[in-house]
């Protein structure tokens, strides 16, 4: 491809709307263009990267026994009502009304449609297992699209759905997919780590995410360096520090003038925050919920949301708290009636706590559960933090940032039961099909690749997904010897099927090198009067500092060898 003819222009300045590094670099490199919030066009260079990622994914899905098909973006809304998943998707589900006043959903995912399809074809255990996948555009009305391709409203996704007769079959499909995903990331030159994850709106019981470790990642991962436990912070468990349980003392009031926060209370009484109970108020689908945790822990909103099975969760406003008759700063579950109370199980890991008295400037000493108050639900709803103890061993948890680039779920039977996807087993008994689903966002992976692989000059593409492999960069094209040699070299490289972007523009060396660094094509070949003097070409990898001179004679063979070196993939 001749750069002079390439559609799309590089930008010197960073566009103001770009809020992440990959977004800035993709716009500056002329690889994508925003059409509306969270909606993008791919320009030729960006699309080439996407197609390469797609090719690798398709090969690995096929190798694992997947069969590709195509499903509609428009889905009957009834399917979403039938599956019962509409509430958990809530406003992120795009819906449209057709001319006959019939409501349709723009598919954010396709479990409903594919289960409905499979239901029609699967009768007996002999028809299973099945691995079906699609690579196509999906839609989510994100409240805050951001980060360029990281959080968008229309996106290209590979989803594979597995259908099995029993748990062992599901385990098998799940493990096959995990291996296929590992192959995909490794072939893309993007090593990803597997972590335990929350299943969120998709539902199901077990799920894992693939994360690219990157400082700019929006997900926090907790991991144990001793045993290898790793989980998204949304999901991460930890061994909560246990306090000595002492025999309960009589409860007594203490005056705490102007003391509001847990730290102030603990300081005032002279105990660590772990000896206090903290009250937090949430609005869950419009209902006020009173949350109690031990004072040294924070609420994990994902765990809390899953426990409540609600779709809208936010901290309650001061007005809502007041209207419920609660005294913020001195609130506690003691003597509260008519409000749902949810507690973290840490309230059982201690005794004689300090808690609010539901009276201004007053707290209580020696509060004990369950002697002094009742709760509606008690469960683990606390957030794990760096330094907490590993739930599996004695090790300490550490945290790092990552970008989610893949997600696999064991769905089980809740969808097949709801949508009537049953089969006859060996004994002629009607059973629901056991499902799993496995997704990779292609654009997201592309953006994550940049978040992980760049420097202050631009993108550094891994070879396997680079838009071109070679950036041919002749300098001083006004010199006819240079331009003739460059044209000849471009022709030779192209004839050998080496993917070459040819900077045939008569621009200054600085300008051309800046563009080459920004576009991030792995191997740069520079021709200049100096290299021609020795009948050579300067060869430089984008990710290395040093360049080398190689003789022009036999250069295409040498380049082919360089690109095939095993550690270059
Ligand atoms: Zn551990």
Alpha carbon of 430 to ligand 1 centroid (Å): 42
The Cα–Cα gap between 139 and 156 comes to 9
Alpha carbon of 390 to ligand 1 centroid (Å): 5
Alpha carbon of 453 to ligand 1 centroid (Å): 30
The Cα–Cα gap between 417 and 414 comes to 5
Alpha carbon of 437 to ligand 1 centroid (Å): 28
DSSP 290-339: EEEEETT--B-HHHHHHHHT-S-EEEPPHHHHHHTT--TTS--STT--SS
CA 291 vs. chain centroid, Å, equals: 28
Q: Coil, strand or helix: which one is 130?
A: strand
Residues linked to residue 508 through DSSP beta bridges, in sequence order: none
Under 8 Å between Cβ of 21 and 450: yes
CA 174 vs. chain centroid, Å, equals: 19
Q: Residue 368: exposed, middle, or buried by beta-carbon count in 10 A (0-12, 13-18, 19+)?
A: buried
Find, among 179, 168, 100, 87, the residue nearest to 129 by Cα: 168
- Predicted pLDDT of residue 260: 83
CB atoms within 10 A of CB 412: 18
Under 8 Å between Cβ of 272 and 309: no
Under 8 Å between Cβ of 219 and 236: no
Measure the CA dihedral 121/126/131/136, to 10°: -10
Alpha carbon of 213 to ligand 1 centroid (Å): 19
Q: Coil, strand or helix: which one is 158?
A: strand
3-state SS, one letter per residue, for 458-515: EECCCHHHCCCCEEEEECCCCCHHHHHHHHHHHHHHHHCCCCEEECCCCCCHHHHHHH
Alpha carbon of 345 to ligand 1 centroid (Å): 21
Any idea how long the chain is? 569
pTM for the whole structure: 0.86
The Cα–Cα gap between 555 and 557 comes to 5
Measure the CA dihedral 29/504/524/447, to 10°: 20
The Cα–Cα gap between 336 and 518 comes to 61
The Cα–Cα gap between 340 and 486 comes to 75
Alpha carbon of 357 to ligand 1 centroid (Å): 39
For residue 392, give Cα distances in angstroms to 224, 345, 404.
Answer: 9, 18, 23
According to DSSP, the β-strands at 67-68 and 193-196 are unpaired
Alpha carbon of 230 to ligand 1 centroid (Å): 9
- Cα 297-381-390 angle, rounded to 5 deg: 70
Alpha carbon of 235 to ligand 1 centroid (Å): 15
Find, among 260, 245, 256, the residue nearest to 364 by Cα: 256
Residues linked to residue 259 through DSSP beta bridges, in sequence order: none
pLDDT, averaged per 10 consecutive residues of the chain (569 residues), comes to 96 89 96 95 98 98 98 96 89 95 96 97 97 97 89 96 97 97 96 86 78 90 92 92 90 90 92 94 93 95 90 90 85 88 95 92 93 94 94 92 94 95 97 97 97 96 98 96 97 97 97 98 97 96 96 96 84
Alpha carbon of 194 to ligand 1 centroid (Å): 15
Helix count and strand count (H, E) for the chain = 15, 31
Under 8 Å between Cβ of 302 and 234: yes
Under 8 Å between Cβ of 227 and 393: yes
Alpha carbon of 298 to ligand 1 centroid (Å): 21
The Cα–Cα gap between 477 and 313 comes to 62
For residue 386, give Cα distances in angstroms to 210, 252, 396, 545.
Answer: 20, 35, 8, 36
The Cα–Cα gap between 337 and 334 comes to 9
Element containing residue 41 per DSSP (H, E): strand 39-42
Edge-to-edge, what's the strand order for the sheet holding 362-367? 252-255, 362-367, 353-356
Indicate the DSSP class of residue 236: -
The Cα–Cα gap between 135 and 371 comes to 57
Alpha carbon of 231 to ligand 1 centroid (Å): 11
Alpha carbon of 400 to ligand 1 centroid (Å): 15
Question: Sign of torsion, CA 481 484 490 493?
Answer: negative
Measure the CA dihedral 441/443/448/454, to 10°: 160
DSSP 345-406: GGGGS--SEEEE-SSTTEEEEEE-TTTS---SEEE--BPP-TTSBPSSSSPBEEEEEEEEEE
- Predicted pLDDT of residue 110: 96
Ion ligand 1, residue ranges at CB < 5 A = 224, 226-227, 229, 390, 392-393, 395
Q: What are phi and psi of 183, to 5 degrees?
A: -60, -40
């Amino acid at each position: 491809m001749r750069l002079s003819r390439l559609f799309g222009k590089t930008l010197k300045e960073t566009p103001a709307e770009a809020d992440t590094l990959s977004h800035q670099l993709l716009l500056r490199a002329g690889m994508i263009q925003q059409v509306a919030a969270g909606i993008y066009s791919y320009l030729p260079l960006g699309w080439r990267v996407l197609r390469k990622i797609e090719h690798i994914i398709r090969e690995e899905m096929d190798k694992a026994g997947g069969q590709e098909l195509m499903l509609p973006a428009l889905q009957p809304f009834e399917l979403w009502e039938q599956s019962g998943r509409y509430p958990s998707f809530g406003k992120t589900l795009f819906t449209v009304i057709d001319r006959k006043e019939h409501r349709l959903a723009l598919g954010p995912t396709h479990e409903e449609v594919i289960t409905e399809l499979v239901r029609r074809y699967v009768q007996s255990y002999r028809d299973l297992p099945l691995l079906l996948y699609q690579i196509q555009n999906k839609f989510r009305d994100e409240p805050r699209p951001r980060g360029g391709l990281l959080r968008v409203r229309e996106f290209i996704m590979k989803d594979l759905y597995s259908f099995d007769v029993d748990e062992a079959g599901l385990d098998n499909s799940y493990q096959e997919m995990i291996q296929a995903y590992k192959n995909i990331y490794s072939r893309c030159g993007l090593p990803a780590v597997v972590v335990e994850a929350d299943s969120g709106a998709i539902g199901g019981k077990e799920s894992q995410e693939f994360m690219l470790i990157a400082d700019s990642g929006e997900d926090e991962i907790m991991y144990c360096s001793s045993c290898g436990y790793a989980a998204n912070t949304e999901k991460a468990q930890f061994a909560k520090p246990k306090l000595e349980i002492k025999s309960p003392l009589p409860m007594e009031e203490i005056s705490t003038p102007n003391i509001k926060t847990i730290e102030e209370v603990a300081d005032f009484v002279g105990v660590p925050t772990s000896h206090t109970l903290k009250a937090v108020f949430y609005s869950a689908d419009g209902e006020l919920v009173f949350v109690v945790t031990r004072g040294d822990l924070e609420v994990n909103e994902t765990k809390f949301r899953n426990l409540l099975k609600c779709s809208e969760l936010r901290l309650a406003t001061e007005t809502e708290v007041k209207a419920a008759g609660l005294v913020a700063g001195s609130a506690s579950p003691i003597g509260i009636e008519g409000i749902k109370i949810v507690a973290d199980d840490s309230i059982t890991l201690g005794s004689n706590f300090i808690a609010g008295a539901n009276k201004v400037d007053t707290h209580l000493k020696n509060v004990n559960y369950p002697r002094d108050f009742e709760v509606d639900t008690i469960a683990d709803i606390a957030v794990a933090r760096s330094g907490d103890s590993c739930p599996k061993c004695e090790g300490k948890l550490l945290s790092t940032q990552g970008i989610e680039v893949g997600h696999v779920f064991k769905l089980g039977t809740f969808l097949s039961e709801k949508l009537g996807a049953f089969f006859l087993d060996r004994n002629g008994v009607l059973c629901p099909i056991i499902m799993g689903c496995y997704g990779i966002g292609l654009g997201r992976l592309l953006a994550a690749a940049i978040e992980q692989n760049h420097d202050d000059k631009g993108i550094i593409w891994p070879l396997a997904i680079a838009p071109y492999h070679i950036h041919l960069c002749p300098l001083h094209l006004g010199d006819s010897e240079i331009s003739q040699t460059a044209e000849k070299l471009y022709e030779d490289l192209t004839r050998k099927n080496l993917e070459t972007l040819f900077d045939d523009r008569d621009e200054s060396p600085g300008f051309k090198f800046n563009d080459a660094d920004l576009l991030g094509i792995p191997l740069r070949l520079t021709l200049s009067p100096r290299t021609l003097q020795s009948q050579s070409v300067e060869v430089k990898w984008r990710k290395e500092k040093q360049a080398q001179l190689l003789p022009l004679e036999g250069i295409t063979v040498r380049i082919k060898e360089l690109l095939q070196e095993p550690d270059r993939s």
